[in-house]
């Protein structure tokens, strides 16, 4: 949408598919997409050795190492590997979310000859050639968190559909600032595909359900928490009382934005020893983040600064990815199947042809957040 571009929203320009508004709930949950299930559109490895039931060696290549989020997916993978007993997973990735380096890392593991590759792509297209090469070398490829072009991998474990996340985010924000508030966004970079997709879907959903919301602007903050903090602070200072809420689009940006709000004394609840401003000035923070990073603002020292954190469970995501790959190797999960068994997670549904859906996004609140540790 052109109007959105003028606000540098950081959205991509792919087609959007907003979910039903909350009022119309009930009818909406049975997603119409399921009815017209598209054909399997993933790729297949050439001459993969039959290792059904045998030990396999996997490598996990997330976008980067060194952030809490991927530490959690790695944890989940290790849990799955331990449960299964016949899977070894090592995690290796660049130290910065850089597609050039990620390709080189994958390339090396192809040469080394692993049985399977799990990845979270820094760029869906750029990573495709090297993944295709992996498939051609008889290596199973399963993505999670950030997809590649479908033909370059077999399955993608989708943590939550983009429109689902978008809905949860906007709904949570509206619950705090009302349907006529105004908000800004702190994202990683405009070129990060997942974030761009979420923002696009948020825009579509907002346009459909809450047209009165004011969309101020989106700022970039890399995956750097000090930079995120500074950018959030700048937004707070720039808009003053005109700013009602901030979205953090990454697990780095959200706690940093919460810190910015807390240090500016703009938390909505006066749990923070008298430092809270009036409800008028308060700035709500909603975003994607891991629970541990957000506890201080939900139940800890700055309790109440943040009311809802949207996220799937990244441990489960990593866990599911390993189960999916094991099932593929064992021949229990093949194109055309509509579901797959994933250990403690039970049965997971196939959507969009070749994606395994982890489930609806989870919303952490003061009530439940202390039950999670990652």
Partner 1 sequence: MTATASPVTRPPVQARSGGFLSRALSFLFTQEVILFLVLVVLIVLVGSANPRYVAERNFINILNGNAYIAVAAIGMSMVIISRNIDISIGSLIGVLGTLSGTIAINGYPIWASWLVPIVAGALVGAVIGFLVAYLRIPAIVVTLGLLSILKGGLITITGGAWITDLPSDYFLAQMKSPAFSFLGLNVPEIPSPILLMIILTILAAIWMRYSTTGRAIYAVGGNAEAARLSGISEKRIIMTVFIINGITAGIAAVLWATQLSIIQSTVPAGLELQIITSAVVGGVSILGGIGTTVGAMLAAILLSAINSALVFINISPYWFRAVVGVLILVTVLADRLRRQRNRASERG
Partner 2 sequence: MTTIRQMDEQNPGAKFRRFLLRQEIILFIILTIAIILLTLGSDKFLTVDNLLNQGRLLTEIALVALPMTFIIVTGGIDLSVGSIMGLCAILLGYMWNPSGPFQWPLELAVIFSLVVGTLCGVINGLIIVRIGVPPLITTLATLALYRGLAEGISQARSVRNYPESFYVLGQGTFLGVPTQLWVVLIFVLITAIVLSRTVFGRSLYAIGNNELGARFSGIPVGVYKIIIYGFSGFMSGMAAWIFVSRVTTTRSDMGSGLELDAIAAVVLGGTSIFGGSGSIIGTVIGFVLIQLLKNGLALAGVTTDGTIVVIGTVLIFAILINNYIQRRVSAGK
Residue in the structure block whose two tokens are 């989870």: 362
Is 233 a residue that touches partner 1 (CB under 8 A)?
A: yes
CA distance 269 to 316: 32
Helix residue ranges per DSSP H, 20-67: 32-35
Is 183 a residue that touches partner 1 (CB under 8 A)?
A: no
Is 300 a residue that touches partner 2 (CB under 8 A)?
A: no
Give 131 or 200: the residue with its C-beta nearer to partner 1: 200
CB of 165 to partner 2, least distance (A): 19
CA distance 196 to 202: 10
Is 77 a residue that touches partner 1 (CB under 8 A)?
A: no
Q: Which does 291 bind (CB under 5 to 8 A by kind): partner 1, partner 2, none?
A: none
Q: Within positions 78 to 107, which residues make up the interface with partner 1, using CB under 8 A?
A: 95-96
Structure tokens at 267: 């938390």
Q: Which does 104 bind (CB under 5 to 8 A by kind): partner 2, partner 1, none?
A: partner 2
Q: What is the DSSP letter of 40?
A: P
DSSP string, 184-228: EEEES-TT-HHHHHHHHHHHHHHHHH-TT-EEEEEEE-TT-HHHH
CB of 131 to partner 1, least distance (A): 24
Strand arrangement, sheet containing 214-220? 214-220, 182-187, 245-248, 284-288, 306-311, 362-364
CB of 19 to partner 2, least distance (A): 25
CA distance 344 to 112: 32
Q: Within positions 177 to 196, which residues make up the interface with partner 2, using CB under 8 A?
A: 189-191, 196
CA distance 54 to 57: 10
Q: Within positions 126 to 145, which residues make up the interface with partner 2, using CB under 8 A?
A: 126-129
Is 55 a residue that touches partner 2 (CB under 8 A)?
A: no
Among 140-148, 230-238, 308-316, 323-331, the segment contacting partner 1 (CB under 8 A): 230-238
What is the SS3 assignment for 124? Answer: coil
CA distance 354 to 43: 9
Is 103 a residue that touches partner 2 (CB under 8 A)?
A: yes
Site string for partner 1, 261-300 (x = CB under 8 A): --xx---------------------------xx-xx----
Is 214 a residue that touches partner 1 (CB under 8 A)?
A: no
Backbone angles phi, psi at 236, to 5 degrees: -60, -45
Bridge partners (DSSP) listed for residue 284: 245
- Which residue from 95, 279, 336, 346 is in contact with partner 2, where contact means CB under 8 A? 95
Name the burial class of residue 96, with classes exposed (0-12), middle (13-18) and buried (19+) by CB atoms within 10 angstroms of its CB.
middle
Is 84 a residue that touches partner 2 (CB under 8 A)?
A: no
**Residues at the site binding partner 1, with contacts judged by CB under 8 A:** 8, 65-68, 70-71, 95-96, 190, 217-220, 222-227, 229-231, 233-235, 237-240, 252, 255-256, 259, 263-264, 292-293, 295-296, 301-302
């Amino acid at each position: 949408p052109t109007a959105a571009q003028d606000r540098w929203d950081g959205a991509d320009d792919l087609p959007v598919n907003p979910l039903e508004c909350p009022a119309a709930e009930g009818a909406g949950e049975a997603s119409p997409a399921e009815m017209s299930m598209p054909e399997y559109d993933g790729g297949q490895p050439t001459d993969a050795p039959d290792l059904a039931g045998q030990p396999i060696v996997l490598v996990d290549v997330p976008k980067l190492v060194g952030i809490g989020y991927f530490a959690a997916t790695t944890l989940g993978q290790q849990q799955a590997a331990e449960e299964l007993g016949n899977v070894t997973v090592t995690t290796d990735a660049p130290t910065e979310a850089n597609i050039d380096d990620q390709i080189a890392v994958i390339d090396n593991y192809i040469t080394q000859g692993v049985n399977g590759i799990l990845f979270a792509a820094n760029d869906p297209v750029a990573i495709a050639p090297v993944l295709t090469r992996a498939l051609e070398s008889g290596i199973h490829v399963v993505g999670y968190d950030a997809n590649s072009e479908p033909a370059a991998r077999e399955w993608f474990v989708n943590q939550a559909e983009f429109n689902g996340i978008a809905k949860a985010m906007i709904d949570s924000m509206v619950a705090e600032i009302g349907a006529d508030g105004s908000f800004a966004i702190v994202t990683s970079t405009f070129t990060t595909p997942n974030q761009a997709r979420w923002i696009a879907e948020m825009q579509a959903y907002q346009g459909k359900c809450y047209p009165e919301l004011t969309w101020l602007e989106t700022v970039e903050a890399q995956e750097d928490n000090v930079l995120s903090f500074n950018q959030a602070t700048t937004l707070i200072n720039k808009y003053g009382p005109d700013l009602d809420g901030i979205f953090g689009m990454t697990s780095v940006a959200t706690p940093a934005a919460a810190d910015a709000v807390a240090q500016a004394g703009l938390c909505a609840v006066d749990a923070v020893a008298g430092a809270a401003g009036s409800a008028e000035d308060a700035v709500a923070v909603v975003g994607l983040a891991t629970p541990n990073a957000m506890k201080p603002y939900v139940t800890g020292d700055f309790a109440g600064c943040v009311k809802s954190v949207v996220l799937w469970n990244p441990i489960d995501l990593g866990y599911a990815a390993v189960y999916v790959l094991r099932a593929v190797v064992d021949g229990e999960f093949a194109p055309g199947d509509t579901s797959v068994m994933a250990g403690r997670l039970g049965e997971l549904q196939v959507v969009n042809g070749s994606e395994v859906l982890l489930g609806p996004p989870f919303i952490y609140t003061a009530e439940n957040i202390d039950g999670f540790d990652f």
